[in-house]
Amino acid sequence: MIDSSAPIGIFDSGIGGMTVASAVTKLLPLENTIYFGDTAHLPYGDKSTAAIQAYSIKICNMLLQQNCKLILIACNSASAAAFELVKEYVGSKAKVFNVIDPVVDYIKEHYNGKTIGLIGTKQTVSSNVYKKKVDALGKNVDLKSLATPLLAPMIEEGFFDNNISESIIASYLSDPSLASIEALILGCTHYPLIKNQIGKYYGDKVEILDTSEIVANSLRAWLEQHYLINEKGSGARQFYVSDYTLSFEQSTEIFFGRQIQLAHYPLWE
């Protein structure tokens, strides 16, 4: 029996998952959350499937020890590489969410017969997971994908909303493979941080799908449906990292409006 007062666990390789964590805490302010940033192994986008699976299981083990009622894989690369394994590992102890299925469900509802673009890490794009799931909808959606490997490390290093990020974004989005799209999936949880710059490039002619908001809404709907909303929680936020960095601690302020105290939790010690 899952306890509604138990925390929500959220993990990512770095700061990207905080876009989802921030969206979740805005929608569900009373929920207690535990965030794990695997900073020792970021970014996940250029790691092997086996490595991502190993990291994900280790992190889930830690979140299960904290009695999380729900574990959200707030990373597209890990969602593509490790979701099925994590779900099997966690079993009935907690609900496991990924950041891909809610977006596919959203496309099913709103984009019948449309041409949609997807940008993400090499791992997410080469896994072909979005295309397989979108094709399986039978909604005649034409999905055009492009790996954009420089974007996540660029954002991790704090390069957004400036000329450097603008030229890198323009270089990717002008790729012929994204021609004639009507909407663009931000297929990496880092990318909402450059959503405005991407929107500016397209001049509002292409709808930008902010996966963090879509995932947060889906998560809330599931909790409501299963009567697992925490209505008496304190909204406590705990943050763990596998490798402490000052830049990561400072980055948390971008998402939560205040500096967060990080707890160091090495995965292999």
Q: How far apart are CA 70 and CA 7, in angstroms?
A: 7
Evaluated on CA atoms 137, 218, 225, 86, the torsion sign reads positive
| Sheet order of strands, 207-209 included | 142-147, 115-120, 183-187, 207-209
> What are φ and ψ of residue 247, in 5° steps?
-65, -35
Question: Within 10 Å of residue 6's Cβ, how many Cβ atoms?
Answer: 18
Distances (CA, A) of 169 to 70, 131, 219, 257: 34, 22, 30, 26
Q: How far apart are CA 237 and CA 107, in angstroms?
A: 31
- Structure-token pair, residue 1: 């029996």
Angle at 42 between CA 202 and CA 250, to 5 degrees: 75
Question: Within 10 Å of residue 30's Cβ, how many Cβ atoms?
Answer: 14
Q: How far apart are CA 156 and CA 250, in angstroms?
A: 11
Residues taking part in catalysis:
75, 188
> What are φ and ψ of residue 254, in 5° steps?
-60, -40
Task: Find the helix or strand (DSSP H, E) in which 23 lies.
Answer: helix 18-27
